[in-house]
């Protein structure tokens, strides 16, 4: 039987993108005369895409906003972030060794993220990771985003995988909900951007370092 397809979230799972995302948010806020958001408390704003991050940031700071303001800030955010996508963003420790181990087992590797596809490709290319994934799908790839399970199903299909031989790896409740709705197991990392302890959301496995991922995948692989 073929090896499983492993589908990864991006922000907070594969790559610690918080430094560049939060820096971009603060640049956009400064242009509006808003005070900067605090780094540690703002990590939990990440995960739903740039629009959601902006809206969460405005709400957490007590600012009123309209859809028109969100769209204007979104345009500014994407323009600035695109030029600074990998200034300080780095893969989480142990990632490349874990990907090597999965590749040796002939696993198909894919990315399913709520980041825009072109920014995802740009980030992973900048970090030398793009070639490792069969497909990299963003919120605009199919016009659907997590937690809609259809984006996960389509990502798996585009990678040439099968839904009954797939496992999700993510850092948030959104990732867990998406995997559950698609009917596949999910491994959660506990070093991402979840506002609450990831254990509260009941993933199938939790890892604290990527060195633990190959064993977690082997445990969950139905053909193992």
Two tokens, residue 138: 């963003």
In 3D, which of 23, 20, 38 has the Cα closest to residue 90?
Answer: 20
User: Which secondary-structure segment (H or E) carries 189?
Assistant: strand 186-189
Query: What's the rounded Cα separation, in Å, for the pair 147 and 49?
Result: 12
Query: What's the rounded Cα separation, in Å, for the pair 141 and 52?
Result: 18
Could you tell me which residues come within 8 angstroms of residue 24 by beta carbon, excluding any fewer than 6 positions away? Answer: 77, 80, 81, 84
Percentages helix, strand, coil for the chain (3-state, rounded to 5) are 50, 15, 40
Query: What's the rounded Cα separation, in Å, for the pair 15 and 157?
Result: 24
In 3D, which of 170, 212, 213 has the Cα closest to residue 188?
Answer: 170
Annotated catalytic residue: which of 9, 16, 171, 175? 9
Residue 175 annotated to the active site: no
Q: Which residues of 120-147 are buried (b: 16+ CB within 10 A; e: fewer)?
A: bbbbbeebebeebbbbbbbbbbbeebbb
Residues taking part in catalysis: 9
């Amino acid at each position: 039987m073929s090896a499983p397809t492993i589908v990864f979230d991006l922000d907070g799972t594969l790559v610690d993108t918080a430094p560049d995302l939060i820096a971009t948010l603060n640049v956009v806020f400064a242009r509006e005369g808003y005070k900067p958001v605090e780094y540690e408390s703002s990590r939990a704003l990440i995960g739903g895409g740039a629009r959601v991050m902006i809206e969460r940031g405005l709400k957490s700071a007590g600012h009123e906003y309209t859809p028109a303001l969100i769209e204007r800030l979104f345009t500014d955010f994407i323009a600035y972030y695109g030029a600074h996508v990998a200034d300080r963003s780095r893969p989480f420790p142990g990632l490349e060794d874990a990907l090597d181990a999965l590749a040796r087992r002939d696993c198909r590797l894919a990315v399913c993220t709520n980041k825009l596809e072109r920014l995802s490709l740009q980030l992973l290319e900048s970090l030398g990771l793009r070639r490792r994934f069969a497909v990299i799908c963003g919120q605009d790839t199919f016009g659907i985003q997590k937690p809609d399970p259809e984006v996960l199903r389509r990502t798996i299909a585009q990678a040439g995988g099968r839904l009954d031989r797939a496992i999700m790896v993510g850092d948030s409740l959104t990732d867990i909900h998406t995997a559950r709705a698609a009917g596949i197991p999910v491994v959660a990392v506990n070093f991402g951007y979840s506002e609450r302890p990831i254990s509260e959301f009941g993933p199938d496995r939790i890892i604290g370092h990527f060195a633990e991922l190959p064993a977690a995948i082997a445990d969950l692989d139905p053909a193992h």
